Amino acid sequence: MKLTQLISIATYTLILSGCGGGGGGGGGGTSSPPASSKASVSSIQSSIAVSSSVASSNTSISSTLNSSAASADSRPKISFNRDIKHIVGDIDSFDRRKFITIHSSNTEADWFGSNAQSLGAPNASPDLITEVMEGYDVYFGRDTGGITWQLGELNQDPARPGFISESHAQTKGGDARWVYSNNANSAKIRQFENRLTDMIIGAQQHPFWPDGKLTRKGWALSQTDTPSEPFGTATGHYMGQYLAEYFNKGAGDLYGQPKPLYVEVMNEPLYDLVDASASPVPVEKVFQFHNTVAAEIRKTNSDVLIGGYTVAFPDYDKNNFQQWLNRDKVFIDMAGANMDFYSIHLYDFPAHNNREKYRRGSNVEATLDLLEQYDTIKFGKIKPLVISEYGASVHTMFSDPWTPQRDGLRLIALNGLLMSFIERPEHIAKTIPFIPIKAEWGRLNGIPYNDRLMRQRKEAPGETGDEWVFTDMIKFYQLWSDVKGTRIDISSSDPDLVVNAYADNQQVHLIINNLEFNAQEFTLNDYSLNNPAFTHATIKHFHLDSQNVPVLSETVSDKFPSALSVGANGTMIITMHYESAVVIDQTKVEQKTYATNYLQAIKTNSPLNFAISGITPAAFGEATLRLGIGRDHGKSLQPKVTINGTEVTVPKDYRGYDQYHQGKGRENFFGVIEIPVPYSILKANNQIEVTFADDGGHISSAAIRAFHYSRNFTH
């Protein structure tokens, strides 16, 4: 099904009211908003409302906005250079296999409508899997169900109580491989194996955590904890046998699903075993369990990557960073050397205990910077990061029937978080938006699970029938369906307009994500040299309408869109078309370097010093100092900062909302502030001094992000 069949497409200029003058998201000099701060809204239902009007279909985007009240020089400025390739590490292109994924595999019954609770109703398309995976160029992501189901099918080894029978696993694994290649859907399943090359699998707590819980066969995994059989040995033994016996065994093997690349030892273990448990397990025991399981898996599998601990809520700053010190730092210290990657889950909480806790923006930046910096200090390098779930959990609507408004909150989170992820292509191995297909396994008291790609028609007001159709979550894939190519230079003068850009033959894809709670006008400037002429632009615009319903429009302009407006919390992908292939003959090499120390306590008028070495300035370039800061609301976020003896100006604004949010936001501020640094003052060895005028909190991380250009250019 084409995009035009799923959403209402019109060739018109969309102008959103409430533009200009800033929005509700920017940060100020303190972490609680002064009287003049940007407005924040009173509830999640109203905070994202957008009022829209439609201009004449014959009016160009550029001329319409140029006639608006806002003057061009007062609007945020976005500029790009088609001729400058942006290289991060050794990555210079957009990897859809890594970033445009779905929480599913090619064998999932939901693709084929065969699961019992689907009521035998037809799918929205006779070929759903092709429509999604090829129609929108999507890649498979993660499966935590298969490994759990197959454990329940296995007999216990009579000679080794608490362990699976290896011979039974070989038999059942052979059966599974044969069925994969010979069932009624095998041809369709195998058609998509090229989108399955870096799958993630993971275990659940039960019955994998050895605490006496029985499998369906009526026995439990061994709880023994001795030097010869460390706690978790039986779990790791089964996981190793599962990987070795249930998947294609390589060259010459005609049967079985391709082997997954990533293995998570356990999904979100601390929530179930510690936070929600009446008898909490020591975190050290969970982390040692990871070491034991990893060692057992490697005995029979040298071709998989093993990681953890799949953190559910990485609130590193909680209790003045005690959560980081008592959990994640301990995990890295105890198990980091045995992990091939770290895995975490990142969610917005737009309606949690009367609060709005957003990850997107400065908070996710601070979270990832802290993890990366400590890994650098501990091991001298940054391990790959797997974000195996991300999105939004809408707690107040969790058990409600399907609504497009709930989907809208999730879509806002997906787009905002993804913008941070794609800035780190050299360290992030894979990201999975938490979008199951039908999720009938989560139906409770007749109410379907709320994270889903599909619904039945009768779930929407005014519609009837059991037919399966798309929820609004499909708009994520529709919005990003065309993005690919070589990363090129792009910048934004407003940190609340996060940008990225890619050139692909005769097209350039410009991505603009608005972290503000108000619509934002901006100007667009092309500073490219020696490149072909512009012909037209195709503009996809995701936002919420006045009823908070997700809208994805597509607009065509035959004039260069020099001024536009992106909706509140919205995302715009502008595809610029040119007469011939874009010429990219210059480079922008990004280098992010962390300090040798981190997590420093802030004391009144007491300088904190950071050393950042290893930077090699080029003839031309730009740089930013990134400081992760965790402080109580009301404390200053504008320290005095000197770099190599030169004082630099600390901006008042930062990515996303102020986190206080008129008392409805996070309990305290935890985010990154990004400070422009004159490129001329950078040295191979840099000394940074940071001084706050008030007491309390920590600088959690410090890094210089330098951009080295092959030609002279300054944003």
The 10s digit of each residue's pLDDT in 485-529 is: 999 999 999 999 999 999 999 999 999 999 999 999 999 999 999
Instruction: Give dist(CA 574, CA 555) in Å, integer.
Output: 9
Q: Which residues pair with 648 in a beta bridge?
A: 641
Judge whether 162 and 221 are in contact, CB under 8 Å. yes
- Position 30 scores a pLDDT of 54
The structure tokens 């930062």 sit at 654
Neighbours of 145 (CB within 10 A): 15
Give tens-digit pLDDT for 569-585.
999 999 999 999 999 99
Q: Specify the DSSP element, H or E, that contains 404.
A: helix 404-421
- CA 120 to chain CA centroid, Å, is 34
What residues contact 72, with CB distance under 8 A and at least 6 apart? 66, 523, 563
Which token pair is 42?
């009173």
The tokens describing 288, both together, are: 């040692």
The predicted structure's pLDDT at residue 126? 57
Question: C-alpha 502: how far from its chain's center?
Answer: 19
Q: Are 278 and 183 in contact (CB under 8 A)?
A: no
Q: What is the DSSP letter of 246?
A: S
Task: Decide if 500 contacts 492 (C-beta within 8 A).
Answer: no
Global pTM reads 0.90
**Residues marked as catalytic:** 268, 389
Which is it for strands 305-311 and 341-352: parallel, antiparallel or unpaired? parallel
Q: Tell me if residue 575 falls in helix, strand or coil.
A: strand
Measured CA to CA, the distance from residue 593 to residue 76 in angstroms comes to: 28
What's the Rg (C-alpha) of the chain? 26
Alpha helices in 91-185 (DSSP H): 96-99, 128-133, 146-151, 166-182
Does residue 658 contact residue 363 with C-beta atoms inside 8 Å? no
d(CA 416, CA 390): 11
pLDDT at 51: 30
Cα→Cα distances 438→105, 236, 284, Å: 13, 30, 37
Phi/psi class of residue 377: alpha, beta or left (left: φ > 0; alpha: ψ in -120 to 50)?
A: alpha
Q: Which residues of the chain have pLDDT under 50?
A: 1-29, 33-72, 119-125
List 608's β-bridge partners, or say none: 690
Q: How are beta strands 428-433 and 385-392 bridged, if at all?
A: parallel
Rounded CA separation 389/406 (Å)? 17
